[in-house]
Amino acid sequence: MQRTVVLLKPDSIQRGLIGEIIHRFERKGLKLVGLKMMAVSDALLEEHYAHHKDKPFFAGLKKFMSSAPIVCVLLEGKDAVSVVRKMAGLTSGREAELGSIRGDFSMSTSANIIHVSDTEAAAREEETRFFKKDEIFDWESAVAPYLYGEDEK
Ligand code: CMP
């Protein structure tokens, strides 16, 4: 099974959307294996968004991301990276499909509710960036037989 990271950004917590968003992932059948709230440091933001450091929106992005706590979520499931990307929708809330998280809750490209891992490699990097080993829970799902067929495990 694959793991992927979701960061619920400051606009999620300010707008009281944390429960709604986590609820969507749970109902989909993704397994919650990590969950924590944190104030993200400047150093961590520089590392996480290093590929955006020359973009004109970088300073604003850092300011926004440290304006309130974020909630870090680690999800597990078959093809979790692509499933969660689909559930998030396009980066801009105005362009994201209705029914996706950004499509339903955001009107913005910067205040776009969540960050999700782009690729499997990014998911592995982000898992170690945001979670310590003892913050990841390897628990057995009692409903797994009702979420996947025998050939999908
Ligand atoms: P995220 O998935 O966290 O990855 C980088 C973030 O930069 C993105 O979501 C947005 O919050 C932000 N971002 C991307 N493009 C723009 C843009 N054109 N203007 C402002 N913010 C942006």
Is the CB–ligand 1 distance for residue 122 below 6 Å? no
pLDDT at 47 over 80: yes
pLDDT at 126 over 90: yes
Is the CB–ligand 1 distance for residue 117 below 6 Å? no
The overall average pLDDT reported for the chain is: 97
Nearest to 117 by CA among 87, 81, 73, 93: 81
Question: Do the beta carbons of residue 17 and residue 105 sit within 8 Å?
Answer: yes
Instruction: Provide mean pLDDT across the span 58-85.
Output: 98
Collapsed DSSP state (helix, strand, coil) of residue 54: coil
pLDDT at 153 over 80: no
2-139, CATH topology level: Alpha-Beta Plaits (3.30.70)
How much of the chain exceeds pLDDT 70, in percent? 100
- Ligand 1 mutation target, pool 57, 63, 108, 116, most atoms within 8 A of CB: 57
* 51 is an active site residue: no
Instruction: Provide mean pLDDT across the span 37-59.
Output: 97
- How far is 131 from 2, CA to CA, in rounded Å? 16
Q: pLDDT tens for residues 82-121?
A: 999 999 999 999 999 999 999 999 999 999 999 999 999 9
Domain ranges, ordered by start, for the chain: 2-139
pLDDT at 7 over 80: yes
Q: Is 131 annotated as contributing to ligand binding?
A: no
pLDDT at 16 over 90: yes
